[in-house]
Amino acid sequence: MLITKAMKFPKIGTTDGKPKDKVEVVAKFFTPDSQCTWYAVEFDGNDTFYGWCDLGYGGELGYFNKSELEELRGNLGLPVERDRYFEGTLAQVMKGEVS
């Protein structure tokens, strides 16, 4: 399960304009058998996340979908997982200070 009801995501757009060191990453998703990682900071409550996306060649801020993460498989066919122990801010992720 990628997300739980206990996870509290800000709604899409609510962190806009806030300093990136004050924006907490709520969830880190990754492919255990490739280099793709997504750091979610906002969620629309349905399917769309906003956050930092790193597909193995540098990252960028953008939108990504829960449904796509659930369907995606890495190089060995493993599904996307959530790092249940990750903690960090958007600024730390963008600077590469946490992984």
Rg (C-alpha) for the chain, rounded Å, is: 13
pLDDT score at 58: 85
pLDDT score at 1: 84
Model pTM score: 0.95
Q: 3-class SS at 66?
A: helix
Q: Are 53 and 95 in contact (CB under 8 A)?
A: no
Tokens of 88: 């960090």
User: What is the percent of the chain with per-residue pLDDT over 90, rounded to a whole number?
Assistant: 89
| pLDDT tens for each residue of 35-63 | 999 999 999 999 999 999 999 888 999 99
